[in-house]
Structure 1
C-alpha cells in the first residue's frame, strides 16, 4: 500500500482517507483481540519486553567493552547486567514479568491520579478543573481496585489496558478518515448556481 501525496506534497486524510481508515480498522481489530484475549496479550508483551531488555543489555555491554578506561564504563556494565538479568527473568518466567508489568500499571495510575488531583487544586477558578479532578479520582479508584485484586488481576490488566489503547486509537483513526472523506465530498460538490431574477 503506497501513500499518495497531495499536489502540495503533504499527506491529506481528505484525499487518502481509505488508507487511514484501513490502518485504523486493523489497529482497532488488534486492540479488540487484545481485550478478548488479555492473558495471551500480557504474556506476549512480557516476552517482547524481555527480549528488548536482553538486547539493550547486550548493547550496554558492548559499549562498556568498547569504552574500557572511560569512567562511565562501569555504569554501562552495571546497566548491562541489570538489563540482561531482568530480560532473562521475563523470558524464563513470563508470569513474573506480567506481575511486574501489572505493578507498573498500578503505580502509574496512582501517580497519575495524585498528579491530576494536585493540578486541579492549583487550578482554582479555571475552566476544566472539574474534568481534571474527575480524571484523577478515576485513576486513583482504578489503582486501588487493581491493587486490591492483585495478583489475580495480573492475568488481564496489561492485556486489557493495551487492547483498549489500541482499540480507541484505531477508532479515532477511522473517525478522522471518514471526517476527511466528508470534507473531501463537501469540497468536490459544485456550489448551487444563483437564480437569475
Structure 2
C-alpha cells in the first residue's frame, strides 16, 4: 500500500513538473482530432491504409514465425492466419475504398454489440449508483451503431474518420485538464 501511495505521489510530482508539456500535447491532440473530424473521408481512408499495413506486416511476421517454429503443433494455424492477414492487408491496401466499407461495417457491429452489452450490464447493476451512466453509454453506442449501419454505404465516408477524430480530440482534452489541474497557482 505504501509503495502505491509513493508511486502515485511520484506521478503527481512528474505531472506538476511538466504540466506545460501535458498542455502542449493536449492542444496538439485536440487540433489533430479536429483535423480528422474536418476531413472524415480522408481520415477514414488513411486509417484503412494504416490497418492494411499493420495486417501486411503482422501477416508476414506470423508466416516467418510459423516456419521458424515449424515443429510445433500450431504451425498450420500460424501459417494460415498469417497468410489470411497478409492477403487481407494487400487487398485492403490495393482497394482502400472497399476496405473502408468493410471496416465501417465492423465498427457499426462493434458499437451495436458494445451498446447491447452495456445495457444488459447496466440493468444488472440497476440498484447501484451509476447504473444510469452505463445505460446512457449503452444507448449512445447502440445509436451510433444503428446510425452507421442504416446510413451504409454513405457512412463509410465519415464514420471511421469521425470516430478516430473524436477519440483523439477527447484524449487531447484529457491531457489539457490534467495539465490545468497540475499547473502551479500564482
Q: TM-score, normalised by structure 1?
A: 0.85
Q: Quick check: which has more Rg, 1 or 2?
A: 1
Match of 1:49 among 45, 51, 56: 51
1:98-133 superposed Cα distances (whole Å, 9 cap, x missing partner): 112111111111111111110112113211122211
List aligned pairs for 1:122-137, cutoff 5 A.
122-137=124-139
Residue 4 of structure 1 corresponds to which residue in structure 2?
A: none
Residue 150 of structure 2 corresponds to which residue in structure 1?
A: 148
Residue 34 of structure 1 corresponds to which residue in structure 2?
A: 36
SS at match of 1:88: helix
List aligned pairs for 1:1-197, cutoff 5 A.
12-181=14-183, 184-185=184-185
Q: State how far apart, in whole Å, the 1-side matches of 2:70 and 2:20 are.
A: 53
Q: State how far apart, in whole Å, the 1-side matches of 2:126 and 2:141 are.
A: 21
Q: Which has the higher helix share?
A: 2
- Which stretch of structure 1 is more off in the superposition, 31-40 or 65-74? 65-74
Offset of 1:9 from its aligned partner?
Answer: 6.6
Q: Which runs of 5+ in 2 are unaligned?
A: 1-8
Root-mean-square deviation (CA, aligned residues, Å) is 1.5
Q: State how far apart, in whole Å, the 1-side matches of 2:74 and 2:174 are.
A: 45
Offset of 1:87 from its aligned partner?
Answer: 0.2
**4+ residue stretches of structure 1 with deviation over 3 A?**
8-11
Q: TM-score, normalised by structure 2?
A: 0.90
Q: State how far apart, in whole Å, the 2-side matches of 1:87 and 1:78 are.
A: 14
Q: Which runs of 5+ in 1 are unaligned?
A: 1-7, 190-197
Q: State how far apart, in whole Å, the 2-side matches of 1:62 and 1:108 are.
A: 31
